[in-house]
Structure 1
């Protein structure tokens, strides 16, 4: 299948998905969100692939949602339709019958960070910047960001991270259990490939079976989180704080939020 914003290559038991909007720092527009969902759903029925590496083209993993496109009158994004695809991609990623590896360089922010957190293993280059920074534009995490954060670090720590929008380097993120392995800059491609081969040389069918057992127990909770994220994100998009947040982002100034 041909994609315009991603590339999916399969070599035997290993697949690699590359977000491919390098000129936009792999920011996710409505097209990429749909294509990611389609790609993950296509892998769900692939019994031959056992490991999937997810990375980004160019100088970063993903800057998150495409904020500029959110306010572009020439290419309006229907938030209701977008949230359908965001929910699709998160659920399909969580249910994949492969071991998933996020290979982060540059940055993983917002929805890009949610996507990484949905993977089984996260490897990040030491000077990567990671942030669940939806709060900066008056939004809530989506792409199951609430669910994936809670799974890794629990509710109290997840709330602190969501509310602060803290930007972390890889070592700080590892200290919070948000990254599994930190590698030198420029080496995440090699490190993720080596880890993939390590998994492929192990009794990986048993590993995937354990993943399925643990993940299947959480599907109803994930569905509920995705439903609530969709409802609340649509509501947040209508707030004064969100409009101020995205205008301040585009104008490169500090936002003046009013709590409305």
Structure 2
């Protein structure tokens, strides 16, 4: 086991499990977690002994997304440009890992948490998990490669609809539109992902990893371009009135009044 403040990275044979471990905050991602996710994934980039990576969340959610409380912290202001640098590292590394990646989703996978799920090769979600690309609710654009990963899954027209509506899906609903590959019974997501991982390492997985590398190599420049554009757009959106209203309304648990500014 490798020591991180917000994560657990465990290796057993050819399978590694990365667990986001801020259960008290529904594994929402603050600066520390973003940095540690980048570092832990990069450590697997050169690890040829691991062929499958399972990513999951501790507690009652996969990840509620970016840490909105951190965004509101006036004493330690949230550095959006630093965050975007970490997210670029996370998304790029996740896409180019020499392992087959499995997202094991229970509870919420929202916003940035959902971008990360979509960056995985195989998505297993519990029946009543809640998946949403809901950046729009706080006046932001998807980040963490969300535009790219969502478009790769469902195509551009559908991706726009999902990003603009911020619609929430259960695991069952998400599978129907191709956002999720496998649905597990509630409470069995982790066990289902573990048995899927076992099945993979009993397959000719070197060939599967080689196919992944071929398919992803041709798209890498596009992902990098998307990440650059997301960083510029997100930095701009953070300064808008709509974003300030969105996070204020979120905290006050009321409907936001957006003005398009």
Equivalent-residue separation in structure 1 for 2:244 and 2:174 (angstroms): 29
Residue in 1 aligned with 2:17? 16
Equivalent-residue separation in structure 1 for 2:88 and 2:256 (angstroms): 28
Structural mapping, 1:100-139, within 5 Å: 100-139=101-140
Gaps of 5+ in 1: none
Equivalent-residue separation in structure 2 for 1:80 and 1:193 (angstroms): 36
What SS does the aligned partner of 1:142 have?
coil
Residue in 2 aligned with 1:56? 57
TM-aligned CA deviation for residue 11 of structure 1: 1.1
TM-aligned CA deviation for residue 240 of structure 1: 0.2
Residue in 2 aligned with 1:43? 44
Equivalent-residue separation in structure 2 for 1:192 and 1:202 (angstroms): 15
Which stretch shifts more, 68-77 or 196-205? 68-77
- In the alignment, does 2:182 pair up with 1:195? no
**Between Structure 1 and Structure 2, how many residues are aligned?**
260
TM-aligned CA deviation for residue 12 of structure 1: 1.4
Residue in 2 aligned with 1:152? 153
Residue in 2 aligned with 1:248? 249
Equivalent-residue separation in structure 1 for 2:216 and 2:162 (angstroms): 24
Equivalent-residue separation in structure 1 for 2:178 and 2:40 (angstroms): 28
Gaps of 5+ in 2: none
Equivalent-residue separation in structure 2 for 1:74 and 1:102 (angstroms): 35
TM-aligned CA deviation for residue 75 of structure 1: 2.4
CA deviation profile, 1:80-124 (whole Å, cap 9, x unmatched):
111000111010000000000000000100000000000000000
Equivalent-residue separation in structure 2 for 1:76 and 1:100 (angstroms): 33
Aligned-CA RMSD value: 0.6
What SS does the aligned partner of 1:178 have?
coil
Equivalent-residue separation in structure 1 for 2:237 and 2:35 (angstroms): 21
- In the alignment, does 2:207 pair up with 1:206? yes
What SS does the aligned partner of 2:3 have?
coil
- In the alignment, does 2:26 pair up with 1:25? yes
Equivalent-residue separation in structure 2 for 1:77 and 1:10 (angstroms): 33
TM-aligned CA deviation for residue 189 of structure 1: 1.1
Equivalent-residue separation in structure 1 for 2:237 and 2:133 (angstroms): 16
CA deviation profile, 1:200-250 (whole Å, cap 9, x unmatched):
000000000000000000010001000000000000000000000000001
Runs (4+) of structure 1 exceeding 2 A deviation are none
Equivalent-residue separation in structure 2 for 1:132 and 1:241 (angstroms): 17
TM-aligned CA deviation for residue 73 of structure 1: 1.3
